[in-house]
Amino acid sequence: MDAESGYRELENIARRAVETLQAVETLEDLEHLRIEFLGRSGSIARLFQELRELDSSERPAFGKRLNEVKKEIESRLEAREQELQSRLEGLRMSRESIDITLPGRSEKLGRKHLITRIIEEIEDIFIGMGYQLQEGPEVETDYYNFEALNTPEWHPAKSLADTFYVEADGAKSTALLRTHTSPVQIRVMESRKPPLFIVSPGKAYRRDVPDASHTPMFHQVEGFAVDRHITLGDLKGTLELFCHEIFGAEREVRFRPHFFPFTEPSAEVDVSCGICEGSGCRLCKQTGWLEILGAGMIDPNVFGYVGYDPDEYSGFAFGVGVERIAALKYRIPDIRILLEQDFRFLQSI
């Protein structure tokens, strides 16, 4: 190497160092450049090797310039490294920073569904009168759902159009989805002796086409009392008290003769309409009354199925539709909304 080409190469290296160090964006690339310029076989080291070939008169000046360039590259490397480091640091700080002035996030609280709350309300009223809770199966047999409840073979409720039978081919198997909660009466009486004061909430199923007041699955609370000397007066007093607890003491209650196969006599119970207070409106279909439950004195034939002596014991029974109570109490025009997951509705009730 002669001095002239040595200087040319040295200045080339110096220029290249300025350009590349300015452009480098990562610590990794910077390290590659350090090796390229200052490494043991890098371009500066190579010139130090070649320095020996120069004429001794030129060596000191070239060596001095070579050292200057080396120092310059070192300090630029260091400066760039610091820039890149502090940029990384800044990124990390902003990623990890917490704005402690932000308001906290509040979690949405869940709550019980309206149907559950009304069932619990009904249970509480009867538990307060000394009743016990007893649930029964939703898949029942023909015997418990109909036969032992004194429902004759030809009864329309037994038709395929009204009852979900469990067997898929439509043949009448004896397994079915219970059409009411009344079969719990039979199961309890069969296994226990009076006195019995029982409430039994749960689901029931009917092959109804859904509309504003029907869904194929719905809820009922069954209740019954069996003991010596239970009278129709006990039934009236108990259900009047229940209606007043649920709807308010100002509401009137009336008993209307009706028919159920498992009670004799039977009645439907109405409360006075809370909207028109009896004068007639759309909700009560101009009658001034809202029907809310079915009831009656347990038929002696039912006692026959469970081995109770009807001369010794008597009892009353009733069945309340939970969706109906919910609809009347909360003025829900279409009960299908109770089965939908509409948050706006669920939070409003």
**Nearer to ligand DAH (CB atom), residue 66 or residue 298:** 298
Shortest distance, position 243 Cβ to ligand DAH, whole Å: 15
Interface with ligand DAH includes 315 (CB under 6 A)? no
> What b/e readout covers 37-74, taking b as 16+ CB neighbours within 10 angstroms?
bbeeebbbeebeeeeeebeeeeeeebeebbeebbeebe
Among 34, 70, 76, 180, binds ligand DAH (CB under 6 A): 180
Among 6, 136, 315, 319, binds ligand DAH (CB under 6 A): 319
Among 6, 201, 296, 315, binds ligand DAH (CB under 6 A): 296
The residues in 266-295 that bind ligand DAH, with binding defined as CB under 6 A, are 294-295
- How far is residue 247's CA from residue 250's CA, in Å, rounded to a whole number? 8
The residues in 80-139 that bind ligand DAH, with binding defined as CB under 6 A, are none
Please calculate the CA angle 162-164-170 and round it to the nearest 5 degrees: 100
The tokens for 203 are: 């689901």
Interface with ligand DAH includes 318 (CB under 6 A)? yes
The residues in 243-262 that bind ligand DAH, with binding defined as CB under 6 A, are 260
- How far is residue 293's CA from residue 322's CA, in Å, rounded to a whole number? 10
Q: Which are the contacts of 200, defined by CB distance < 8 A and separation ≥ 6?
A: 133, 134, 135, 136, 181, 184, 188, 221, 222, 223
Total residues belonging to the chain: 349
Interface with ligand DAH includes 222 (CB under 6 A)? yes
Kindly indicate which of the ranges 16-24, 75-83, 129-137, 317-325 contains the residues binding ligand DAH, using the contact rule CB under 6 A.
317-325
Binding site for ligand DAH (CB under 6 A): 180, 182, 222, 260, 263, 294-296, 317-319
